[in-house]
Amino acid sequence: MILIKNVEIYTPTKRISNGAILIKNGRIAYAGPLASIPSLTVEVLDFKGYIAVPGFIDIHLHGGAGSDFMDGTEEACLRVLKTHMKKGTTAAVPTLMTAAPEAIVKAIQAVNKLKTAKDVLPAILGLHLEGPFIAREKRGAQPESHVRPFSAQELGRYVKAAGDGIKIMTLAPEILGAGPLIRDLKRRRIIPSAGHSNASYVEAAAGIRAGIRHGTHLFNAMSGLFHRDPGLAGALLLDDRVTVELIADGIHLHPAMAVLVTKIKPLGKIILVTDATKQAGRSRAPLRTRDGRLFGSAITLDIALRNMLRWTGRPMTEILPMLTLNPARLLGLAAVKGRIAKGADADLVILDKKLAVKHVFVRGEKGS
């Protein structure tokens, strides 16, 4: 057993001063005031002056440290996950770009190999397929040559390769066959997410009625707010059944827009993501394609947390769930992920007072 003591704990929705966390067999056995802990023979870690928060969960993550999940190798996947773990990510949904079917299957197989890895790594909570059934005019950095119409047979191929591990799929609700695609995803218990779309408000609302429950990187690569047609962005903002992703890097999203979203959407329906590419951990400069399109981000979730706190002026208890509890709820894992509570997985991040990551624990094991 491990006892972490003298920390300020954010559960994430509750703050506990002078707290303690007892870890047993990879799970949290106790979380609360230090004074309530009986004398135990355990390994003690005194983190006085530090803050303990739940491990960060990134549901939209492509790459880092020069590698991308689409590289299709176990080594590349390991580099990506280890890079983000150092900055607090203890669980992730590897995200695969629009590509040739063979490349997508290869990437799925590479991620699958990590299930037997002996390294301490962020937990893989499933896969996020960002396409290929999207709108060409809103493809962003997705290669136009691989954008294609919905095919149930093709989707079935990916599901088979992933062993039912696909959890989210980004699609454009206005494309031909969107209705059958959404129904197919719901049947397979895959979350339909609207993105890379030029949908009108009417088309977007129809997609939400059909079962879309998530919005991929809100405002980016989608029809935006216009007073005669609020577009996909407006439909996602106005329907409280839908969660939305925000890339809080100050490039994909102006700080004022982040504030606006927190005033419109229930805070429990906002999820911070990185959409990180190969440059994460190496560069903070805007990443663009040759024709000027934004190409993911270079941030890690600790940066997103600090940015949102600074931009909105809201307390930690309101912002922290956006990268811990909220993504866990979306994936149906809130009982064991995204919180510091008895019985939950011991996924923890230890921060200093400036919210820099000092230590990371994944299921009770210290990440390197």
pLDDT, residue 48, reads 96
Residues 17 and 78 both lie in one domain: no
For every residue of 275-303, DSSP letters joined together read -B-TTTTT--SPPB-TTS-B--B---HHH
The beta strands (E) that lie in 131-196 are given as 166-171, 191-194
Structure tokens at 137: 């005019």
Residues 297 and 362 both lie in one domain: no
| Residue 275 known to be catalytic | yes
Number of Cβ within 10 Å of residue 345's Cβ equals 25
Question: What is the extent of the structural domain holding 255?
Answer: 56-330
Three-class SS of 244-274: EEEECCCCCCCHHHHHHHHHHCCHHHEEEEC
Residues 13 and 24 both lie in one domain: yes
Number of domains in the chain: 2
Residues 321 and 349 both lie in one domain: no
Cα separation, 280 vs 358, in Å, equals 18
Residues 99 and 236 both lie in one domain: yes
Name the 3-class secondary structure at 229.
coil
* Residues in CB range of 192: below 8 A, 6 or more apart: 169, 171, 181, 182, 185, 186, 207, 210, 211, 212, 213, 214
Residues 69 and 94 both lie in one domain: yes
Residues 228 and 187 both lie in one domain: yes
Cα separation, 195 vs 173, in Å, equals 8
Q: What is the CATH number of the domain that holds 75?
A: 3.20.20.140
Residues 360 and 222 both lie in one domain: no
Structure tokens at 255: 């700080």
CA angle 149, 230, 311 (to 5 degrees): 105
Of the candidates 58, 71, 275, 302, the residue annotated as catalytic is 275
Cα separation, 158 vs 165, in Å, equals 9
Residues 69 and 204 both lie in one domain: yes
Residues 198 and 347 both lie in one domain: no
One digit per residue, pLDDT tens: the chain, 368 residues? 999 999 999 999 999 999 999 999 999 999 999 987 777 778 999 999 999 999 999 999 999 999 999 999 999 999 999 999 999 999 999 999 999 999 999 999 999 999 888 899 999 999 999 999 999 999 988 899 999 999 999 999 999 999 989 999 999 999 999 999 999 999 999 999 999 999 999 999 999 999 999 999 999 999 999 999 999 999 999 999 999 999 999 999 999 999 999 999 999 999 999 999 988 877 666 677 777 777 789 999 999 999 999 999 999 999 999 999 999 999 999 999 999 999 999 999 999 999 999 999 999 999 86
Residues 11 and 110 both lie in one domain: no
pLDDT, residue 286, reads 60
Q: What is the CATH number of the domain that holds 19?
A: 2.30.40.10
Instruction: Quote the radius of gyration of the chain (alpha carbons, Å).
Output: 20
Residues 49 and 60 both lie in one domain: no
